């Protein structure tokens, strides 16, 4: 993975919180994909993808989010996105209508609470 993005994983039982920091673009999307897909086991019920520290998301990053949503749905697993109000990533999620496919929260705590986990 290039220094543009860093993925930090925090597994807690059947919940995996993954925080993506920095920029996700063509140069590192495959590494980000491999990290996220590799971290989601069959025992994972919920992936909370924290994008509050993601500063840039190009079209390959958006495609990754749609693919991840479809993959998890096919496996009967949940995905929730966390984006900061007013952030560029929040606008991208809205413009691409990803927010109509995947629940979007403003904090990890909100995402967990929405699933009855906090």
CATH topology for 5-114? Transcription Regulator spoIIAA (3.30.750)
3-state helix, strand, coil in the chain (%, to 5): 40, 30, 35
d(CA 14, CA 17): 10
d(CA 57, CA 22): 9
pLDDT (tens digit, 9 = 90+) per residue, 63-92?
A: 999 999 999 999 999 999 999 988 899 999
Q: What predicted TM-score, i.e. pTM, was given to this entire model?
A: 0.93
pLDDT at residue 11 tops 80? yes
Phi-psi category of residue 43: left, alpha or beta, with phi > 0 → left and psi -120 to 50 → alpha: alpha
Dihedral pair phi/psi, residue 19, rounded to 5°: -105, 125
CB-based contact 61:83 (threshold 8 Å): no
Under the banding of pLDDT at 50, 70 and 90, the label for residue 1 is: very low
d(CA 59, CA 115): 29
- Crossing angle of helices 29-39/59-74, nearest 10°? 20
Report domain extents, the chain. Answer: 5-114
Across the chain, mean pLDDT equals 94
- Of 59 and 86, the one with more pLDDT: 59
Average pLDDT over residues 16-42: 96
Average pLDDT over residues 34-55: 96
């Amino acid at each position: 993975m290039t220094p543009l993005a860093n993925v930090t994983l925090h597994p807690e039982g059947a919940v995996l919180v993954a925080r993506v920091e920095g920029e996700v673009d063509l140069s590192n999307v495959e590494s980000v994909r491999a990290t996220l897909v590799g971290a989601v086991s069959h025992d994972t019920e919920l992936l909370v993808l924290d994008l509050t520290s993601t500063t840039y998301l190009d079209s390959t990053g958006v495609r990754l989010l749609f693919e991840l949503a479809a993959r998890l749905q096919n496996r009967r697993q949940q995905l929730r996105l966390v984006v900061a109000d007013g952030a560029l990533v929040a606008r991208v999620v809205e413009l691409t209508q990803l927010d109509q496919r995947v629940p979007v929260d403003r904090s990890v705590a909100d995402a967990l609470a929405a699933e009855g986990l906090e």
